[in-house]
Structure 1
Amino acid sequence: MSLDARTDDGWATTRFVVLGFGTAGYACADSLIQAGAEHLVVLDDRDNEALREKAVILETLGATITLGPGSAAELPKEVDVVVTSPGVPPHAPLLAQAAERDVPIWSEIELAWRLRDPATAAPWLCITGTNGKTTTVQMLTAMLQAAGLRAVAAGNVGLPLLEAVMDPEPYDVIAVELSSYQLHYTHSMSAHSAAVLNIAPDHVDWHGSLDAYAKDKGRIFENCQIACVYNVADQATEELVMDADVIEGCRAIGFTLGTPGLSMLGIVDDLLVDRAFVEQRTTSALELAMISDVTPAAPHNIANALAAAALARSFGVPPTAIRDGLRGFRPDKHRIAHVADVAGVNYVDDSKATNPHAAQASLLAYEQVVWIAGGQAKGATFDELVIAARERLRAVVLMGQDKQVIAEALERHAPDVPRIVVEATDTGAMQIVVGEAAKLAQVGDTVLLAPGCASWDMFANYGARGDAFTEAVHALGRG
């Protein structure tokens, strides 16, 4: 399709189908109507009161909404573009039919890119990766705002990207978090600069393979204009840069927890430094901030700060704004958050660690750990994690649907580490888990909730799981 701006007359004549009517689907449909689309069909197999209420709003504006079982099973005959919600996998029947008929499929991100007003469009600084995306985007936003820019976090976090793009008061720059789902059907985006933080097995069931997952992450670098930021410690991220078709002059910029080489950001003594965006980079580095400016100063979070700084520097943000942004930033709840000290033991909530890669990064931030793990493993394995962290494990308390997967990895690689398996799955299960962890912990240890798994087997979401942990720890302190 040639549609590339909301002012294009083609929006009125193009026949759109929006697949999914959740938050993203509604935003897509609403934005298409604002752009002048006159032929819009929305399909969703679900049907409930909330969806019907939203349907009434769009139907009054001319859209056709079909809800209920089977509604999204078949692609209409008259369709020019399908806009799909991020949770719908490529093998879904309607998307498979669209691919077979060569009907273009757009993500909400693709739609947002095409709806930008070319006269006022804000540049995008984009971030993806298996772990750390949200924290890094929020750090980046804090740096941009500290520089006096009208900036916002959008996409997979914060403001919906379509809402940011359609705002009548244009932003100076948008910090965009992108998931692999969103990138899969994104084709024409051209970020000012972009970063891939890390690649580890996740959502393989959706993508079909780890290689396909990584390639979808790598789409963020396509047509990149100024800087492609990669993780020096994760070779896969650099390979994605090398494979990308970028705008001529775009640079590969690394970040590292070691001393930075040329065109990198890294650490010298206790300083975050830039050896990429300074004229004298062949012989010197520019101080950006101190390690103590990063909260928490865990290694993986310092890496997040460096990635955010690389993107900010690519946009011309001065060092003082990097420092001030980091000093004022505090991560969201359930991200390696200190809960309390009880009887000389540190209790930490990292419920957001929903895959082994994230849990491993969290475990390696502490010397002696009683590890609370388990939930829905999503097909992941834990051998690499256990091998990396076994010297730090005082004990392990396991819970949830796939606890046996972790228990077997521990038996293979850390058989001497004590472990307790909690069978309870009701609302009081976390109190039992925390109680068992407290019995195993010694003074100076950290009891760490870093499940390495999704939460849906026992909790509504990772936030509810973290809240249950926090409540149980506080009850222990009142004990």
Structure 2
Amino acid sequence: MRISQLEGRRVALWGWGREGRAAWRALRAGDSGLVIRDSYEAGRLPLTLFCNADEADEARALGDSALTVETEATAERLAAFDVVIKSPGISAYRPEALAAAERGTRFVGGTALWFAGRADARTLCVTGTKGKSTTSALLAHLLRAGGQRTALAGNIGLPLLELIDDQADAWVVELSSYQTRDVAASGARPEIAVVTNVFPEHLDWHGSEQRYVDDKLALLTEANPRVAVLNAEDPRLVALGERIESGVGATEVATTRAEESRDVPAAACRHSHSGGSAAGVVRWFNRADGWHLRGGMLHRGEDAVLDTAGLPLPGRHNLGNLCAALTAIDAFGLDAAALAPHAAAFAPLPHRLQVLGERDGIVWVNDSISTTPHASLAALEVYRDVRVAILLGGHDRGVDWSVFADRLRGRPPHAVVTMGQNGPRIHDALAAVADGRWRLGAAESLAAAVDAARAALGEAGGVILLSPGAPSFGPYRDYTERGRHFAALGGFDPDTIAAIPGLGIA
């Protein structure tokens, strides 16, 4: 659905975060033919905004006479609209959304509106449970080094609708699992789709692990990209990629998965895009015939291309992200081997194994973006040879921590401090394997956890690693706010560590 197709329909916005505000601005100032530019006079498309009470005053202060603001998005109210433009953080599986969808309301996201209106754009879509932001930023950085006017937007921090009238040679779009079905729903076909990995996350939004996987992989199974760039070390991606390569179309894969799954409500399936051909080709990374690592050397097939020593990409997982980006660049039609050395000038993203600095013999590392146990394990692997105290815990999504606990048996850190809503559950899982070989503490808050980590490291110092393995909801609005608080607790200026380099078009 394009923005111009909203004319004459009953339309609502649901959510007033940055995505919601971007949607409102696009409807009011875009080239949709629905607006009277530079005016809030009657004649505008009537809109209703559903938001919380704190946001309502801000929205009303806009002075938009055709905007009605309400604070209760019930099934009855949502069903009164033909189209609801929903912010990504609001689950499509909420009972009120499913009930309204059954009555005919169509739910779309800002991502779907952008893709529907920009079928001409050369898009490189990036998703995955972890690594998608770094991969996206690397892609944009290297494409720009290759002379491409490149946009970097999406889930990474800049809604696509904020760039609706802009032009670029390449569009690098990071997509969360909340947004992947939006691409399929738009009817657009991405040029390249990169998937870094898939393992359980966001179970509270999706409702189950299977539904999360299906939603995440909709970028492949329903959006039908021309080229799928997949991680050969991820079993789920290998299974799907091999089926596509063998001639089983992406649409057939999606149908089979839907038949095998019993927990996806029928209304939720209305996001899917019917028709289209299968993914044209699969390009693999982390495989011997593609971009991969051998020791510290980056290879494309048998050709040694770049020594990774000194690159600003800590950990093998980040070098895997580089392999993903280089594979996508080759698929885009540029010589990735010629561009690979430009990775040395990449500016790392904040809150992702970000070394803040040293204070009194302690190195502070901010990995607040870590929201799964898998991500915390990857962070510990980077600091496996130093005295490290890791801070774990946050919002409880019901994720299993037993694998994490088992991994700590063989190579434990110096100390673990649990915190947050799921802190007691993580503590119980770890207490069963600690055996007194490493320190295990518990804290009520991040500040208390930092104090406990300092005490555990003592005068010998080491690393305090914030890699919570859980979302920040509750005490913090998002992982960036949590990371900023951690920086302040360490004595660092939060404002200097938070900017995401490279957003927008350059």
Residue 25 of structure 2 corresponds to which residue in structure 1?
30
CA deviation after TM superposition for structure 1 residue 184, in Å? 3.9
CA deviation after TM superposition for structure 1 residue 92, in Å? 2.9
Do structure 1's residue 41 and structure 2's residue 47 form an aligned pair? Answer: yes
Residue 228 of structure 1 corresponds to which residue in structure 2?
228
CA RMSD of the aligned region, Å?
Answer: 2.8
- The 1-side partners of 2:389 and 2:420 are apart by 17
Higher relative contact order (CA 8 A, sep 6+): 2
Residue 82 of structure 2 corresponds to which residue in structure 1?
80
- The 1-side partners of 2:491 and 2:16 are apart by 40
CA deviation after TM superposition for structure 1 residue 449, in Å? 2.1
Letter of the aligned partner of 2:194 in structure 1? A
Residue 315 of structure 1 corresponds to which residue in structure 2?
332
Q: CA-to-partner distance for each residue in 1:82-118, whole Å, 9 max, x for gaps?
A: 22111112233542233212433212211111122x5
Question: Aligned pair count?
Answer: 445
Q: CA-to-partner distance for each residue in 1:178-231, whole Å, 9 max, x for gaps?
A: 111122444223111111111122111211111100111111123434321122
Q: CA-to-partner distance for each residue in 1:116-149, whole Å, 9 max, x for gaps?
A: 2x5xx32110111111221111111101111111
- The 1-side partners of 2:400 and 2:60 are apart by 42
Q: CA-to-partner distance for each residue in 1:153-198, whole Å, 9 max, x for gaps?
A: 111124321122322xx11111101111122444223111111111
Q: Any unmatched runs of 5+ in structure 2?
A: 35-43, 245-249, 252-275, 493-506
What does residue range 315-354 of structure 1 map to in structure 2 within 5 Å?
315-319=332-336, 322-341=339-358, 346-354=363-371
Residue 64 of structure 2 corresponds to which residue in structure 1?
59
Residue 268 of structure 2 corresponds to which residue in structure 1?
none
- The 2-side partners of 1:249 and 1:434 are apart by 48
Instruction: Give the 3 Å change call, closer, same or farther, for CA 141–434 of structure 1 in structure 2.
Output: same
- The 2-side partners of 1:115 and 1:86 are apart by 19
8 Å CA contact 1:125, 1:173 repeated in 2: yes
Residue 197 of structure 2 corresponds to which residue in structure 1?
198
Instruction: Give the 3 Å change call, closer, same or farther, for CA 45–469 of structure 1 in structure 2.
Output: closer
Residue 15 of structure 2 corresponds to which residue in structure 1?
20
CA deviation after TM superposition for structure 1 residue 386, in Å? 2.1
CA deviation after TM superposition for structure 1 residue 377, in Å? 3.1
What does residue range 38-187 of structure 1 map to in structure 2 within 5 Å?
39-48=45-54, 51-55=56-60, 57=62, 59-60=64-65, 63-68=66-71, 70-75=72-77, 79-116=81-118, 118=119, 121-167=120-166, 170-186=167-183, 187=185
What does residue range 275-314 of structure 1 map to in structure 2 within 5 Å?
275=301, 284-285=302-303, 287-292=304-309, 294-314=311-331
8 Å CA contact 1:231, 1:238 repeated in 2: yes
Q: What's the secondary structure of 2:53's corresponding residue?
A: coil
8 Å CA contact 1:21, 1:42 repeated in 2: no
- The 2-side partners of 1:201 and 1:231 are apart by 16
- The 2-side partners of 1:56 and 1:171 are apart by 34
What does residue range 255-270 of structure 1 map to in structure 2 within 5 Å?
255-256=285-286, 260-262=287-289, 264-270=290-296
8 Å CA contact 1:345, 1:447 repeated in 2: yes
Residue 279 of structure 1 corresponds to which residue in structure 2?
none
Q: Any unmatched runs of 5+ in structure 1?
A: 276-283
- The 1-side partners of 2:84 and 2:460 are apart by 57
Q: CA-to-partner distance for each residue in 1:262-312, whole Å, 9 max, x for gaps?
A: 3x321235332334xxxxxxxx44x54331253133111111111111112
Q: CA-to-partner distance for each residue in 1:432-468, whole Å, 9 max, x for gaps?
A: 13322322x857x543221112234444543343344
8 Å CA contact 2:297, 2:305 repeated in 1: yes
TM-score w.r.t. the length of structure 1 is 0.83
**Paired-residue identity, %:** 29
Do structure 1's residue 438 and structure 2's residue 462 form an aligned pair? Answer: no
TM-score w.r.t. the length of structure 2 is 0.79
Moved more, 218-227 or 30-39: 30-39
